[in-house]
């Protein structure tokens, strides 16, 4: 049997991480909400005050990136045809 090029490993998920995820799921907020705002704020501080926004998926992220770049109807954009099967 051959060795995979990039081996997969079992993730290390401790009880604190499980509890944090459970708290988010119980809050009723999954793709937005107080934990997302907390993360954006912490990442912004880490990056020296940069504007940080989280999005629910890659499709939403690419749409906003194109809008911010001023891309519109008639503009040519060359990109990968597949971002991820879930998006």
The domains of the chain are located at 30-87
**Confidence at residue 53, expressed as pLDDT on a 0 to 100 scale:** 93
**Confidence at residue 50, expressed as pLDDT on a 0 to 100 scale:** 92
**Confidence at residue 84, expressed as pLDDT on a 0 to 100 scale:** 67
**Confidence at residue 69, expressed as pLDDT on a 0 to 100 scale:** 95
Helix (H, G, I), strand (E, B) or coil at 80: coil
Are residues 35 and 24 in contact, defined by beta-carbon separation less than 8 angstroms?
Answer: yes
Structure tokens at 71: 């891309």
Structure tokens at 76: 């040519």
Per-10-residue mean pLDDT of the chain, 87 residues long, equals 73 94 91 91 96 88 92 89 65
**Confidence at residue 73, expressed as pLDDT on a 0 to 100 scale:** 92
For residues 55 and 40, give the distance between their C-alpha atoms in angstroms, rounded to a whole number.
11
**Confidence at residue 79, expressed as pLDDT on a 0 to 100 scale:** 79
> What are the Cα distances from residue 62, in Å, to 4, 26, 31, 45, 50?
31, 29, 16, 24, 19
């Amino acid at each position: 049997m051959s060795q995979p090029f990039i081996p997969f490993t079992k993730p290390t998920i401790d009880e604190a991480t499980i509890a944090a995820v459970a708290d988010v799921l119980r809050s009723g907020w999954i793709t937005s909400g107080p934990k997302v705002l907390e993360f954006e704020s912490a990442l912004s501080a880490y990056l020296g005050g940069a504007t940080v926004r989280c999005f629910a998926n890659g499709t939403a992220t690419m749409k906003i990136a194109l809008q911010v770049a001023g891309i519109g109807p008639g503009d040519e954009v060359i990109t990968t045809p597949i971002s991820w099967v879930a998006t």
